[in-house]
Chains A and B, each alone.
Chain A
């Protein structure tokens, strides 16, 4: 497969410089290297050239040219992805960070149309003045782009109430691999006009098209919120509480879980005192003051009914921040256990949450690695932090444990990724996850991108697409 694609030549560089201007083209080694990784701890894959288009038309021209020349193209946003969406076949790194404008805010419609390179937090900062926000809230929000979020259907801590990016994308302008620019979706909440190509594009991680414009629906900023943390004598009682909260239909904005190992790491890192317990839940409700107070009262009752040792309700914004700091401290706290760590992103039916936690512990023991669990339990999403400390020899075991858990998740009706995507990291699970449907996915890929110039090696193996 090494010779399948053409290499970027001097003539190609000239073409791009003429099209985009020389400041929007780089073949400098430092720039290529700086674009050779994302936040997944994998290897370095250098593109041959980096280009920065500034308009949809330029994106279309880059794609058209690359398609003709059979040069791979890897679209890139903030580069915060966790699954290795990197230029493994070299080629063109199509950075969209210069296309970072808000094109229009439709205040009355509660919608916004943006270019793909705008950063999540910056968009929400701008939307504040309209009393609106785009809710998915990924933890990489300070640097990830909206285009990247749509490409990986990312979400975050409040998906239990607000859902994932998918629920907010109303329309897309997409550059297809051959350079055609098409518009899909609409500016209405519903339509019944044939195949839902929009949903097909979301989460495709740059394998079907390059998003050049995105129309999002927005939510009103919540009027009021309340947060509480609860401690449990066992993982089982915490999971049971989650189950009852969801079953009762309480409108929670967050139901976050943290196990005892994680609590210990966080307590040490953040210098916080937690009561003696085996698990912690952080719950939060958003909405009108009356609704929030009523929801939280019911929620606290359920927490207590499920053997919670202690429930602490945030008295003010400062205390709420402390609660969230504890939850968000999980990642840095585990990073301090050592250099070698990977994080799983499995999602399981709620009835399997307890088994998922227990299974993680068993796998941790089996492979001799540290396993601690946090999760957005309201939507069944678990992040097991597998750590081998600084023992390089245990890295393979980290992957074995992670892989075994992922296979188990698929077997029980879950998925290998709740919010991070497939990339190169979880490619091996796609077939197992989708079985017969994988062939259909592959056929769609072949139909849209027969030469496989868009993100080859991501989600699908190149061989599978071009054979």
Chain B
């Protein structure tokens, strides 16, 4: 390695360089890392610990390859940022955050992919303006091939259909008097453009509880950018979102989320990325719909009407675990009368990681046991993550929905 290169790499890793040395190589991360438990991960270099050893070797001058080297970068791709390792690492190594910084060193030309990823919020917004045309295009053979050639998304993926945006629907909506205060819905792209019906139900429900719901100006959560190592771009998105949301929080509103990626971004990623007071204040004022429901229940404002005690499979998505919402979701589902069978297994999708042509097969391999188990059980499934739901639906062929969808019809709003 040359000195200028080393100092450039050290600069780009920043405070995460210290995490390289915190790693004690115990291998605990391997035990929970989805990509470290596949038919390929008998090779140590394809495991989470292997990646950390390579980083230690690089900075010890043992590894002759640069971290910018294509082979090293390909190995880093095996971390899709599920964050299961953060919980288990005894040394407190922030593994995904570190790997994102290493991915940042990737010099492979990928202009189109980079352009699309940094503008995917705007592109989806555009598609949602003409949903009929967009759906025809995206579901057509040519559309799928084009998507594979340009962004690398496997043609075998069945994209969910586009709808007119939820944001637009909220902003056109007549407001109630909102005696309980204002909620600013940080929607993120999937609910905004695809699963709009879920978003509408959430809005209608919280309005019934007495809240005003607004859709502030917002961009995508940007988790995708972090996972791609596009740190500067993720920083810009985070900054823009925080600026927009901070003003609303200052005016007394709370930020509402329903997507685990959106919640995680506001709660943890943005404060870590920006390290400023505004992002911390936004974080402190962010609440997920499930937490809001639990609060309402604790305060006696809602109750549950249980027609019968149903069995339901609760799939723990990686992001739900990382955001610490697992317990809350479990509790509310149980309060709503569900007899839960919990499956804490990664489905392999990893945001859009598993949708990439190069990762598609391995993504299915990671999820295979889960799909088989779900087929065998043959019960409805709930998972908080949007992409997990796509993966489960496509491969286990079961009814899978957001937890809110299973709860909302059982909630009884108590009169004040």
Contact = CB atoms under 8 A, between A and B. Distances in A.
Interface of A: 26, 28-31, 33-39, 41, 44, 46, 50, 52, 78-80, 95, 97-98, 119, 121, 140, 142-144, 331-332, 335-336, 339
B64 A29 contact: yes
A29 B18 CA distance: 24
B57 interface: yes
Given A39-B27, A98-B42, A142-B31, A30 B75 contact: yes
B25 interface: yes
Interface stretch (B43-51, B360-368, B373-381): B43-51
Interface string B26-66: 11101110000000001111010110011011001011110
Contact of A36 (B43, B53, B72): B53
A335 B90 contact: yes
Contacts of B32: 142
B63 A29 contact: yes
Contacts of B54: 30, 33-34
A422 B200 CA distance: 64
Contact of A30 (B21, B22, B72): B72
Contact of B57 (A36, A39, A78, A332): A36
Nearest to B63: A33
Contacts of B64: 29
A78 B42 contact: no
A386 B388 CA distance: 44
A34 B24 contact: no
Contacts of A29: 63-65
A339 B45 CA distance: 24
Contacts of B91: 332, 335
Nearest to B25: A39
A34 B44 contact: yes
Contacts of A52: 42
A44 B44 contact: no
Contacts of B24: 39, 41, 335
B31 A34 contact: no
The 7 closest A-B pairs by CB, nearest first: A142-B31, A143-B27, A34-B44, A332-B90, A34-B50, A34-B45, A30-B45
A38 B53 CA distance: 10
B71 interface: yes
Given A335-B22, A335-B24, A339-B22, A44 B90 contact: no
A37 B53 contact: yes
A29 B43 CA distance: 12
B92 interface: yes
A396 B32 CA distance: 35
A140 B42 contact: no
A121 B31 contact: yes
Given A26-B43, A39-B26, A34 B53 contact: yes
Given A80-B27, A339-B18, A339-B21, 17 more contacts: A30-B54, A31-B43, A33-B45, A33-B53, A33-B63, A34-B43, A34-B53, A36-B53, A36-B57, A37-B56, A50-B44, A78-B27, A79-B27, A121-B31, A143-B26, A143-B30, A335-B24
A140 B42 CA distance: 18
Contacts of A41: 24
A33 B57 CA distance: 7
Contacts of A46: 62
A80 B26 contact: yes
B27 A332 contact: no
A450 B23 CA distance: 38
